[in-house]
């Protein structure tokens, strides 16, 4: 992956407002990435300093290894889960 795409992905994640979420696919489309998997890769390798917790899988759930921490961070922003799923119709961010 080139550095420009890497930075576009990080920038896109940074723009997700507190109290909202986006999917890996949303961020891939916004950043021009070929696949949502690249978003997960960037966040796992270089996402600690950006709001990684606002990015979810397409079904509204966190990755299994992040579920407890991610839902805790989202709760702190007012994003409430039904079990381990976030209602994307309620909390999904739609860039203008």
Query: CA 77, CA 90: separation in Å to the nearest integer?
Result: 14
Report yes or no on 63 lying in a domain.
yes
Burial class (CB in 10 A: 0-12, 13-18, 19+), 85: middle
Return the pLDDT at 80. Answer: 97
Residue listed under structure tokens 């397409």: 58
Report yes or no on 69 lying in a domain.
yes
Residue 95's pLDDT band, with cuts at 50, 70 and 90, is confident
Domain of residue 78 covers 3-90
Name the pTM for this structure.
Answer: 0.94
pLDDT exceeds 90 at position 96:
no
| CATH at 44 | 1.10.10.10
Q: Domains in the chain: how many in total?
A: 1
User: What does each C-alpha distance from 34 to 20, 61, 63, 82 come to in angstroms?
Assistant: 24, 22, 20, 31
Model confidence pLDDT, tens digit, residues 3-61: 999 999 999 999 999 999 999 999 999 999 999 999 999 999 999 999 999 999 999 99
């Amino acid at each position: 992956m080139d550095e420009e795409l890497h930075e576009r992905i990080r920038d896109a994640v940074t723009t997700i407002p507190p109290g909202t979420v986006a999917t890996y696919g949303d961020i891939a489309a916004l950043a021009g990435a070929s696949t949502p998997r690249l978003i997960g890769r960037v966040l796992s390798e270089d996402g600690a300093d950006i709001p990684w917790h606002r990015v979810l899988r397409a079904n509204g759930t966190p990755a299994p290894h992040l579920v407890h921490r991610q839902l805790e961070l989202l709760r702190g922003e007012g994003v409430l889960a039904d079990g381990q799923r976030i209602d994307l119709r309620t909390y999904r961010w739609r860039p203008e």
